[in-house]
Amino acid sequence: MILTGLVLGAALGFALQRGRFCVTGAFRDVWLAKRTRWLAAFFVTIAVQSAGAFALDAAGVIELGGGAFPWLASILGGLVFGFAIVYAGGCATGTYYRAGEGLVGSWIALGGYALAAAVMKYGPGAPLVEALRGVQAPVGTAYELLGVSPWVLVAVLVTGTGAAAWHHLRKDAARPKPVQLPSRRRGIARILFERPWNAFATAVVIGVIGIAAFPLSWATGRESGLGITTPSANVVAFLTTGDVELVDWGVMLVLGILVGSFIAAKGSGEFRVRVPDAQTVLRSTGGGLLMGVGAAIAGGCTIGNAMVGSATFTLQGWVSFAAMLLGTGLAVKLVFGARRSGSPAAASAPATVGV
């Protein structure tokens, strides 16, 4: 039944594309625009998923908790990954959904990411990753560390996130509404392929998809939720070894994201093969490769760690989430710092047209 992964992945890809849900953008906004609206939306996906995951755990459908905390790898890998996503122009899921929109730069970043993840997980980089991940603290989750019920943390997370979302929704309501594109469609076609999705509504949809991932993946013997990095490495490993065992629910999930975002983009007239300039090619290549290295070390990307790991209160999840945010801040300084202080060569000056 690994085909449920393909269906759920397609739903995820569709929601990411239509909702313009970009975790890199959310992290970058914190540093570049000093805005937390998209970060708050990202927290909504964590909070929704957290409540759902622990409900499934309580019902005995899945089993959470246990494990150790590879603290060194979480910090180091998180920093590298957070840094890399700014250059790659998207995190793992962002790169998948943009690849489905026809962005060649994202195809390059995606290839680099999957290749580097395979090198670090199954190839010559594996001993380094193992050594780094061997540096561990004995307790793996925040609630076991604090000695409280996970529901205490779920309650704190849901309350805090709810307050932040409420704050942003009220701010949105108080401002003039952003102008929308003229509508060309009606009915269901407009709802699916034209109407802009609210950031917080998109976040709830993605959170629900994240909840559904647990039992669907568990049923096939893959005992985890949404994940991008290991499946991407598995695609490369399968293509180079022919080992069919590697094609699991997670592989179907990531392929589904491509399919879903392509359908969403094509259906809404937003698919076009877009070839980047030389500088973007270099950034996508370097960023993609570094992303794979960082995610393999950290044990997950913005989804596996920052979203699912945080939702299940693993220390690896929260610590690498914080490290990613810091890494993004560092890269923003390097990429946009020089631009902002203004080298005229880097800026495309507007042409003036008399009217």
Partner 1 sequence: MTVHVLETEGQVCPFPLVEAKRAIAGLASGDQLRIDFDCTQATDSLPRWAAEQGYPVTHFDRTGDASWTITVQKP
Q: Which residues bind partner 1 (CB under 8 A)?
A: 17, 20, 22, 25, 28, 32-33, 89, 98, 101-103, 105, 175-182, 196, 265, 269-272, 274-277, 280, 336, 339-340, 342, 347-355
Burial class (CB in 10 A: 0-12, 13-18, 19+), 174: exposed
Matching residue, tokens 């755990």: 57
Half-sphere exposure of 192 (CA within 13 A, CB side): 12
The nearest distance, CB 41 to partner 1, in angstroms, is 12
Q: Which is nearer to partner 1, 218 or 336 (CB)?
A: 336
The nearest distance, CB 343 to partner 1, in angstroms, is 12
The nearest distance, CB 176 to partner 1, in angstroms, is 5
The nearest distance, CB 252 to partner 1, in angstroms, is 25
Q: Which is nearer to partner 1, 90 or 327 (CB)?
A: 90
Q: Which is nearer to partner 1, 16 or 47 (CB)?
A: 16
Q: Which is nearer to partner 1, 22 or 129 (CB)?
A: 22
Q: Which two tokens stand for residue 53?
A: 């995951």
Question: How many residues does the structure list for the chain?
Answer: 355
Q: Which is nearer to partner 1, 96 or 214 (CB)?
A: 96
The nearest distance, CB 263 to partner 1, in angstroms, is 14
Q: Which is nearer to partner 1, 57 or 270 (CB)?
A: 270
Buried b (16+ CB within 10 A) or exposed e, 87-126: bbbbbbbbbbbbbbbbbbbbbbbbbbbbbbbbbbbbbebe
Question: What is the helix (H) or strand (E) element at residue 313, kind and residue range?
Answer: none
Query: Whole-angstrom Cα distance, residue 234 to residue 226?
Result: 15
User: Taking a C-beta distance cutoff of 8 angstroms, is the pair 91, 270 a contact?
Assistant: no
The nearest distance, CB 85 to partner 1, in angstroms, is 12
